[in-house]
Amino acid sequence: MLVYGWKNWKPLTRRDWRHKQRLECYQARLSKAFNKKVRPRSFQVGDLVLAVRRPIITTHRTGNKFLPKWDGPYVVKEAYTNGAYKLIAEDGLRIGPINEKFLK
């Protein structure tokens, strides 16, 4: 049954299957190359870390584009199992929880 606004789908031909297989191989190569460069990070309580500077961390938005992208160092106070961390600044300011992808 053909509904207005929908295309009539045809079964895939051999040529379409070949293109699909090539695309899947290409995507597998890309993911393999990307995963070579990705390093899992984990921090322990007491480690010094840098946090990405963003409006959640800073109390005011700045228009200066020459500010550093990372803020810190912060001390890891608590480490959660889901990859989130609570941080403490040198002056005692508590930050977090913040995801590990925003830390280095």
Provide the mean pLDDT of the chain.
84
pLDDT digits (tens, 9 = 90+) for 48-94: 999 988 755 555 555 666 778 888 899 999 999 888 999 999 888 88
Predicted local confidence at residue 23, as pLDDT: 96
Are 55 and 67 within 8 A, CB to CB? no
What secondary structure letter does DSSP report for 18? Answer: H
Q: pTM above 0.85?
A: no
Residue pair 10/38 in contact (Cβ under 8 Å)? The answer is: no
pLDDT at 2 over 70: no
